[in-house]
Amino acid sequence: MNPIPSLHKRDLQIAMRHGGGGRAMRMLIEEVFMRGASDLPVDGVGLAAMDDGAALRIGDQYLIVTTDSHVIHPLFFPGGDIGRLSIAGTVNDLAMMGATKLLGLTCAVILEEGLSREVLERVQASMQATCREVGVPIVTGDTKVMGKGELDALVINTTGVALTSRVVRDNGLRVGDRVIVTGTVGDHGLAVMATRNKLQLAGELKSDVAPLFDLVQRVLAVGGESIVAMKDPTRGGVASALHEMAGKAGVGMLVSEADVPVSEAARAASELLGIDPLHVANEGKALIGVRPEAAERVLAAIREHPLGRDAAIIGTAIAEPKGKLVLDTGFGRRLLAEPEGEPLPRIC
Amino acid sequence: MNATSQLKFRDPVLGRALGDKLNSVVAELGRSPVSVMHVCGSHEQAIARFGLRSAFPRELDVVMGPGCPVCITDVPEVDEGVALALQGVRVCTYGDMLRVPGTVKSLADVRGDGARIEVVYGIDQAIALARETTEEVVFFATGFETTAVATAAALLAGVPKNFSVLSAHKYIPPVMEIVAEMPGTRIEGFLAAGHAAVITGSGVFEDFVKAHRIPVVVAGFEPLDILAALVRLVELVRDRTPEVVNMFPRCVSREGNRVAQEQLWKVFTPVGGRWRGIAHVPNGNLRLKEEWSAFDARRRFTIDVSRLWDYAPPKLLGQCICGEIMSGSRGPKDCPLFGKECVPENPVGACMVSTEGTCRIWHQYGGHLDLRGVS
């Protein structure tokens, strides 16, 4: 419908939207980092797949590897902090690739000159607590300091390695498959934004940041071969993740807005800020693509998990229009566009 | 679970009933197209957001009028803001204004060059900023009656000495006259913006209806508000009864908010001026009155815009049809630039900049608002 424009003149410089998880970021990666990426063969899932991580064949197993740098302002926000985020974010990417055994995480930090040691220790304690919650150790790390003003407080990069015998990609949807979201959407991004804007909201709006490894183990155990695609809807939100899943699978998607779980506080914030919760980052949710006959069974299992109580089936893969999301609002239908970038920068 | 579906004015069951009613009223007219216009970006937002166009009968053409205050802010007005910023003044404005192209540069461009532009959610934030500094702070004020009243109230309440206003406020009622008088206009009725009518009252449209014999229905912004107002508007068209009908009575009265009106006209005076892409609109611009000179950025500073004009205007601008889109004669799909050269991250025309701009809304919702053909 709309031909995707190539890099515009202004894209000679990096803008904040290039880190927003939407179309702008995808195009930057395709146009810069993918160049020559397929020259060296990868045995398994590599960069060209643009999945949540890589899967490298080792004998009859796969080593899952993923890496993520975490930058968020403020460092501490309702429901979490950069420490918890840096562990959960990487663990979730491993889980989305179908990892069944976590091996370890690396942790590289870059600190701004002048950062208080107390802040750093709080962040470290939060990282450790989250690692214990999942049962994965940090096995190696790196520390650098940069001058005042050269970065904002603290950047954390974590890399995760894990094993699985069955990789779950993000491109496995077929027409008729259902997509489950494991809980309410938009909480993380809206909580961060409400904090930054000092919004006074009724009800408790807090980030959903949480490691999903345990929940996903349940999904894989109950769903088995019926689990055909997984993706965590972080930056760019559910809309961006569903676009990727539909586009890679060559299907369309019909999404029922009334079925999308949104907490009352997130709804209020989204109305106030004029931002669609479907476009906002989550840090403790997964989109699970499942064969139709297993959908209800998997949904029931997810709902029994503490992190999955609000799970719902929100979409069905359809034949046309390919690569597009059709949103049924209850009043009519419209396309759910792929967001250009996250509506607010530096949130995860 | 989903809070939206529990909201009274977002009940899909009632929505479908109103959709059916709209279909039958339009069918009674027995011709095509029946064209009505709304003059509010928030109406277009709601229509797009809720996919209402897919529920409208094919014979009904709901045209988007000049209802986006950012879009109709004229190029020279943007230039004034840009020039002030380049002169070292701190310019505060709504986020939507940042990327609106001026003759050569937008506010965002000069911010990139080092000028100090602050994005604020309202005039109060700009005033607070002025109180924290001794530097000159200018609020680049845009918007219709609704935000103009806020500007007026803030000035009346008292502002610091280093604060002034660059008013690009616009007044909606005069532009409806322009549209109604356009040669070959096919607009048979108007949906008026509920929030502006909260201030002006629905009575403000009575003379217009008398003069042009075109019905006006004041509408709110929830999907049921819009559907119900459209039903009523098409009924008025069908019955050839040009009247003003207030379909947003929970907020709007015939008289409007008298206090707000008094404040508005204490501070502002209507003057003629260009609306970007539309026309010269008599009494369409709101400027600060003489007695507010001390807080009028135009009088306080010598705004030198000439240095902005040393460049040739971008070539693409010549192909932009924002003006025709805003006057309702064409749509985004008719523009050769839409979704190609002109996209939100790199807008050519103002309609692609603002979240209330028609092109931006269409682009945001997939550029294809009519899914009646999708099964």
Same domain, A120 and A248: no
Interface of B with A (CB under 8 A): 1-5, 10, 12, 15-16, 19, 48-55, 121, 223, 227, 338-341, 343-346, 355, 363-369, 371, 374
Give pLDDT, residue A18: 85
Amino acid at B262: E
Give pLDDT, residue B374: 56
pLDDT in tens, B159-168: 999 999 999 9
Q: Note whether residue B371 is domain-resident.
A: no
Report chain A residues whose CB lies below 8 A from the CB of B355: 274
Q: How confident is the model at residue A19 (pLDDT cuts 50, 70, 90)?
A: confident
Same domain, A124 and A211: no
What's the CA gap between B185 and B212, in Å, rounded?
12
Q: How confident is the model at residue A116 (pLDDT cuts 50, 70, 90)?
A: very high
Give pLDDT, residue B311: 52
Give pLDDT, residue A343: 66
Q: Note whether residue B323 is domain-resident.
A: yes
Same domain, B187 and B54: yes
Amino acid at A275: I
Higher-confidence residue of A207 and B307: namely: A207
Q: Which of A132, A164, A196 is the last residue of a domain?
A: A164
Q: Note whether residue B370 is domain-resident.
A: no
Residue of A nearest to B54 (CA): A332
Q: Which helix (H) or strand (E) holds A338?
A: none
Same domain, B89 and B235: no
* CATH number, domain containing residue B242: 3.40.50.11750
Report chain B residues whose CB lies below 8 A from the CB of A24: 345
Q: For residue B312, with 0-12 CB atoms within 10 Å meaning exposed, 13-18 middle and 19 or more buried, which class applies?
A: exposed
Amino acid at A206: K
- The pair of three-digit structure tokens given for residue A257, joined into one six-digit string: 């807005």
Q: Are the Cβ atoms of B344 and A259 closer than 8 angstroms? A: no
- Is pLDDT above 70 for A2? no
What's the CA gap between A258 and B361, in Å, rounded?
22
Q: Which of A138, A164, A190 is the last residue of a domain?
A: A164
Q: Note whether residue B231 is domain-resident.
A: yes
- The helix-helix angle for B41-49 and B223-238 (nearest 10°) equals 110
Judged by average pLDDT, the poorest of A325-339, B124-138, B155-169, B343-357 is: B343-357
Report chain A residues whose CB lies below 8 A from the CB of B12: 258, 329-331
Q: Are the Cβ atoms of A335 and B365 closer than 8 angstroms? A: yes
Same domain, B168 and B269: yes
Same domain, B231 and B88: no
What pTM value is reported for the model?
0.81
The stretch A100-107 carries a mean pLDDT of 98
What's the CA gap between A108 and B125, in Å, rounded?
39
The arrangement of strands across the sheet holding B137-143 comes to B117-119, B90-93, B137-143, B163-169
- The pair of three-digit structure tokens given for residue A292, joined into one six-digit string: 């139709």
Q: Note whether residue A228 is domain-resident.
A: yes
Same domain, A215 and A241: yes
Q: Which helix (H) or strand (E) holds A62?
A: strand A61-70
Residue with token string 């609002």: A329
The stretch A40-49 carries a mean pLDDT of 88
Same domain, A226 and A305: yes
Share of chain B above pLDDT 90, in %: 59
Please tell me which of the candidates A330, A333, A340 has its beta carbon nearest to residue B344: A340
Residue of A nearest to B343 (CA): A5
- The helix-helix angle for B12-29 and B223-238 (nearest 10°) equals 20
What's the CA gap between A44 and A51, in Å, rounded?
12
- Residue A54 bridge partners (DSSP): A65
Same domain, A139 and A239: no
Same domain, B80 and B160: yes
Tell whether the torsion through CA atoms of B143, B87, B322 and A343 is positive or negative: negative
Q: What range does the domain containing A157 cover?
A: 42-164
Give pLDDT, residue A113: 96
- Is pLDDT above 90 for A77? yes
- Nearest CA to CA, how far is A126 from chain B (Å)? 31
The stretch A207-227 carries a mean pLDDT of 98
Higher-confidence residue of B176 and A176: namely: A176
- Which residues are CB-contacts of A12 (< 8 A; sequence separation ≥ 6)? none
Same domain, B288 and B323: no
Mean pLDDT over the full length of chain A: 91
Contact between A212 and A307 (Cβ < 8 Å): yes
- Which residues are CB-contacts of B241 (< 8 A; sequence separation ≥ 6)? B215
Same domain, A329 and A265: yes
Same domain, B143 and B96: yes
- Nearest CA to CA, how far is A65 from chain B (Å)? 33
- Residue B269 bridge partners (DSSP): B287
| Cα angle for residues A117, A77, A345 (degrees, 5° grid) | 100
- Is pLDDT above 50 for A4? no
What's the CA gap between A182 and A288, in Å, rounded?
8
Report chain A residues whose CB lies below 8 A from the CB of B95: none
Parallel, antiparallel, or unpaired for β A227-231 and A101-112?
Answer: unpaired
- Which residues are CB-contacts of A231 (< 8 A; sequence separation ≥ 6)? A52, A96, A170, A241, A244, A245, A286, A287
Q: Which of A119, A138, A164 is the last residue of a domain?
A: A164
Q: Note whether residue B48 is domain-resident.
A: yes
- Is pLDDT above 90 for B340? no
Same domain, A152 and A62: yes
Same domain, B303 and B289: yes
Report chain B residues whose CB lies below 8 A from the CB of A320: 374
Q: What range does the domain containing B98 cover?
A: 75-172+257-309
Judged by average pLDDT, the poorest of A122-136, A226-240, B104-118, B360-374 is: B360-374
- Is pLDDT above 70 for A344? no
- Is pLDDT above 90 for B1? no
- The pair of three-digit structure tokens given for residue B208, joined into one six-digit string: 């217009």
Query: What total number of domains does chain A contain?
Result: 2
Q: Are the Cβ atoms of A262 and B364 closer than 8 angstroms? A: no
Q: Could you tell me which of A168, A325, A333 has the C-alpha nearest to residue A243? A: A325
Contact between A235 and A243 (Cβ < 8 Å): no
Report chain A residues whose CB lies below 8 A from the CB of B53: 332, 334
Parallel, antiparallel, or unpaired for β A154-164 and A101-112?
Answer: antiparallel
Q: Note whether residue A220 is domain-resident.
A: yes
- Nearest CA to CA, how far is B282 from chain A (Å)? 33
Same domain, B332 and B223: no
Q: Note whether residue B252 is domain-resident.
A: no
Amino acid at A278: L
Q: Is A139 left (phi over 0), alpha (psi -120 to 50) or beta?
A: alpha
pLDDT in tens, B256-274: 999 999 999 999 999 999 8
Q: Note whether residue A141 is domain-resident.
A: yes
Q: Note whether residue B374 is domain-resident.
A: no
Q: Note whether residue A226 is domain-resident.
A: yes
Q: Note whether residue A36 is domain-resident.
A: no
Report chain B residues whose CB lies below 8 A from the CB of A274: 355
Same domain, A201 and A225: yes
Please tell me which of the candidates B50, B344, B346 has its beta carbon nearest to residue A329: B50
The stretch B65-83 carries a mean pLDDT of 90
Higher-confidence residue of B350 and A6: namely: B350
Q: Note whether residue A12 is domain-resident.
A: no
- Is pLDDT above 70 for A290? yes
Q: How many residues does chain A have?
A: 348
Higher-confidence residue of B176 and B127: namely: B127
* Number of CB pairs, chain A paired with chain B, less than 8 A apart: 112
Same domain, B167 and B271: yes
- Nearest CA to CA, how far is B112 from chain A (Å)? 11
Cα-based distances in Å from A232 to A89, A240, A251, A346, B334: 9, 10, 19, 18, 38
- Is pLDDT above 60 for B105? yes
A331 in contact with chain B, both atoms CB, cutoff 8 A: yes
What's the CA gap between A177 and A228, in Å, rounded?
9
Higher-confidence residue of A167 and A339: namely: A167
Same domain, A82 and A148: yes
Q: How confident is the model at residue A91 (pLDDT cuts 50, 70, 90)?
A: very high
* B314 CA to centre of own chain: 25
According to DSSP H, which parts of chain A are helical? 23-28, 82-96, 117-134, 187-196, 213-223, 237-249, 264-273, 295-304
Same domain, B266 and B305: yes
pLDDT in tens, B172-228: 999 889 888 887 788 999 999 999 999 999 999 999 999 999 999 999 999 999 999
- Is pLDDT above 80 for A44? yes
What's the CA gap between B16 and B61, in Å, rounded?
19
* CATH number, domain containing residue B104: 3.40.50.11740
Report chain A residues whose CB lies below 8 A from the CB of B341: 5
Q: Note whether residue A104 is domain-resident.
A: yes
Q: Are the Cβ atoms of A259 and B48 closer than 8 angstroms? A: no
Question: Strand locations in B171-303, DSSP E?
Answer: 189-193, 216-219, 244-246, 268-275, 279-288
Give pLDDT, residue B64: 87
Highest-confidence range of A324-328, B180-184, B327-331, by mean pLDDT?
A324-328
Q: Are the Cβ atoms of A5 and B341 closer than 8 angstroms? A: yes
What's the CA gap between A116 and A70, in Å, rounded?
18
* CATH number, domain containing residue A217: 3.90.650.10
Q: Are the Cβ atoms of A262 and B355 closer than 8 angstroms? A: no
Same domain, A93 and A224: no
- The helix-helix angle for B145-157 and B258-267 (nearest 10°) equals 70
Higher-confidence residue of B331 and A300: namely: A300
- The pair of three-digit structure tokens given for residue B275, joined into one six-digit string: 């609306």
The stretch A59-63 carries a mean pLDDT of 97
Report chain B residues whose CB lies below 8 A from the CB of A334: 48-51, 53-54, 365-366, 369, 371
Same domain, A283 and A213: yes
Q: How confident is the model at residue B361 (pLDDT cuts 50, 70, 90)?
A: confident
Q: Note whether residue B278 is domain-resident.
A: yes
Residue of B nearest to A257 (CA): B2
What's the CA gap between A336 and B297, in Å, rounded?
42
Q: Note whether residue A62 is domain-resident.
A: yes
Site from A256, A334, A336, A342 to mutate, B interface, most B CB atoms within 10 angstroms? A334
Give pLDDT, residue A6: 40
* CATH number, domain containing residue A114: 3.30.1330.10
pLDDT in tens, A184-216: 999 999 999 888 877 777 568 999 999 999 999
Q: Are the Cβ atoms of B51 and A321 closer than 8 angstroms? A: no
Query: What total number of domains does chain B contain?
Result: 3
Residue of B nearest to A312 (CA): B1
A309 in contact with chain B, both atoms CB, cutoff 8 A: no
Contact between A264 and A337 (Cβ < 8 Å): no
Ramachandran angles phi, psi of A222, nearest 5°: -80, -40
Judged by average pLDDT, the poorest of A217-221, B25-29, B239-243, B315-319 is: B315-319
Please tell me which of the candidates A5, A261, A326 has its beta carbon nearest to residue B1: A261
Same domain, A285 and A321: yes
Give pLDDT, residue B333: 85
